[in-house]
Structure 1
């Protein structure tokens, strides 16, 4: 794509500023000019459409794109798992998500295959396999199966859900292995979870000293640790150990929120997966027991969001969708818009997520010098945020200056 002027769109630049009718000029994959007159270049008519930055989902599981229980019990072939992963990646792009942070399930080969353009998909940052306590959240082996056999189910280059550590030394070895496989950050499970086998939401997992080992290894590589965490005790352990981000944060209270703000620890709430598991548990390939575990989580996560916002915590946005039904990824923005404002949801999914992912200055806002990741929407999602939820409303998607979807 050479020099292109996108004209006629109402631009919502991701910074939180009011929308404006502006021309945007793209050249060599970058935004070169934003203004009333974008200068010369090929004209792309976007009359009547709304332009936003490419959306960012800070909590995805591309590697969990098949029915969950059959995948966890190894009833699905590697070929089918790969097909499901790449279909989900393409679907994310079609929904307007040009960048995603994979928080566990894929191995490095998926990231590089998408980056090479061999399959359609967003820019992917990945933690590789999730780091888990022996028998803790993220372990789904049969009760009779020895823990050491769990990793034998990994599919190198494709799929690696989690690694088990029984102590700090094992965790250090496992995080080094994750980095060897191409991880760009780390994720630890420090509490139980909703889709759990051997744990409860109230459980804490890993000690402060153990979590600190992962932080030390991440820091040595110029990156960070985020944690799956629902309860305050686990969150506080992680903060003390030096993590930079908390996923879910279901039970965050006022004092924990203040501690997060003081230590500049970000939060990524995940409402879409809660709705998914409440209303379509079977569609994710999970049993009804999962629905029982998720009861009350939505209300508590809503209260946690309010406490974090009041304390001034940096709050991103993630869908956490799992299973084969991941086509309505933008539902997360619609859910957040109902709890805050549509502009708040958009900024969380663009500018703030870019900051959390370490991509600030590259993506997340529409400004000169930024990557040309853009979406043209049919209608005004600030007036009707449900527009974000339907991929058909993403009329044009531009990734790094290249049109990857065009329904005009």
Structure 2
């Protein structure tokens, strides 16, 4: 594999902020130095005036969600869903996201297609189907829809599955892990895009949540939970849930408890802004539209509370359908209330920690995957440089291979 030497770069990854030189070889970062490096066989790129960062990590996406109306989406042909997912993931890659964690829907088969090189996409961490109680956030059936969910659950376009009771939850967890899930996702609160669960709905009993946590632990992994209300978050932390998704209505006291427990939060503010402005026009039903402001208006305050409490936050977006194009706007939304360095850390070292890939992604360190982006200018001074559909990124590298290269040779 061709070697690449990035010279005279501003190095920025959440722990490092300095001038330096990075040598990439065989898909890995082989050397990082504050002194000039020389390798005759390497292509040398002078990055003076530009910033070199690890590839960005989005720790909450739904790559198969090509439509906003998820009930309708579940009925789409699998092949159509797969090809649309490939397009969605390629768009993420071109925005500089080289790793993603899918929170419901992506399968091991889709990941294998990516790994075999059938399309360019970020590396994928998956949970398989999100697991929900009947009437919970994975149940897209309306009040008067009594169809058996088994038909929908077998389809690629369906993001979740149902499991009621401790034994059923255990079986669902085991089946998802057998199918290739890297972690378990449960729906522990009501949601916006589902028709019969108010936001305050508590999706699972403590016994059911503890069963999921135990099953995950036995498989050497963790549970992520969809959560909004403070009550739901506190219950989930008590039961051992590690990854707290959304958290819009969290209190500072609960955030402190979660931090002490070693949990990590993954807020997703951009999706509520996008749903508010575009959801109805893209097919979101009136019941769901009516729930948006309950969580949207509390979003920025939740970031401040979690930051003050010392609760680690990873970067997530949770967008659906045509709204995936707003993915990078999460940076500037968070930047309204958080220091820019904390926003950078959320998409690098904090997200890598959540994905249990520290030292491999989200860092400019020897031995890490050579997932890199080049940014024109200084993102610490202007987070909008990470937006614009990759417009300010002349180069994006994945596994040591340029997937975008507008740098002079």
TM-score (normalizing by structure 1): 0.94
Most deviating of 273-282 and 37-46: 37-46
Match of 1:42 in 2: 43
User: Is the 2:188–2:232 Cα contact (8 Å) retained in structure 1?
Assistant: yes
For residues 347-366 of structure 1, what are the structure 2 equivalents within 5 Å?
Answer: 347-366=345-364
- In structure 2, the CA distance between the partners of 1:277 and 1:133, relative to structure 1 (3 Å rule), is same
For residues 262-281 of structure 1, what are the structure 2 equivalents within 5 Å?
Answer: 262-281=260-279
- In structure 2, the CA distance between the partners of 1:190 and 1:168, relative to structure 1 (3 Å rule), is same
In structure 2, what is the Cα distance between the partners aligned to 1:71 and 1:6?
47
Give how far 1:279 is off.
1.4
Match of 2:112 in 1: 112
In structure 2, what is the Cα distance between the partners aligned to 1:91 and 1:105?
18
Match of 2:372 in 1: 374
Match of 2:9 in 1: 9
Secondary structure at the residue paired with 2:323? coil
Match of 2:222 in 1: 224
User: Is the 2:11–2:52 Cα contact (8 Å) retained in structure 1?
Assistant: yes
Residues 222-277 of structure 1: per-residue CA shift (max 9 Å, x gap): 00001000012211221121111100011111221121011111111111101111
For residues 1-400 of structure 1, what are the structure 2 equivalents within 5 Å?
Answer: 1-15=1-15, 17-18=16-17, 20-35=18-33, 36-40=35-39, 41-69=42-70, 71-72=72-73, 74=75, 76-146=76-146, 149-155=148-154, 158-282=156-280, 284-391=282-389, 392-400=391-399
- In structure 2, the CA distance between the partners of 1:283 and 1:22, relative to structure 1 (3 Å rule), is farther
Gaps of 5+ in 2: none
In structure 2, what is the Cα distance between the partners aligned to 1:69 and 1:205?
18
Most deviating of 248-257 and 283-292: 283-292
Secondary structure at the residue paired with 1:64? coil
Give how far 1:23 is off.
1.4
Secondary structure at the residue paired with 1:281? helix
In structure 1, what is the Cα distance between the partners aligned to 2:9 and 2:403?
18
User: Is the 1:226–1:245 Cα contact (8 Å) retained in structure 2?
Assistant: yes
In structure 2, what is the Cα distance between the partners aligned to 1:399 and 1:343?
23
User: Is the 2:142–2:196 Cα contact (8 Å) retained in structure 1?
Assistant: no
Give how far 1:166 is off.
1.7
Give how far 1:14 is off.
2.8
Secondary structure at the residue paired with 1:257? helix
Question: Are positions 1:404 and 2:403 aligned together?
Answer: yes
User: Is the 1:130–1:161 Cα contact (8 Å) retained in structure 2?
Assistant: yes
Residues 266-292 of structure 1: per-residue CA shift (max 9 Å, x gap): 111111101111111145432344332
Most deviating of 330-339 and 350-359: 330-339
Gaps of 5+ in 1: none
In structure 1, what is the Cα distance between the partners aligned to 2:52 and 2:274?
28
Residues 294-326 of structure 1: per-residue CA shift (max 9 Å, x gap): 114233222222221111111111011111331
Most deviating of 206-215 and 388-397: 388-397
Secondary structure at the residue paired with 1:327? helix
In structure 2, what is the Cα distance between the partners aligned to 1:22 and 1:333?
25
Give how far 1:178 is off.
0.9
In structure 2, what is the Cα distance between the partners aligned to 1:73 and 1:304?
32
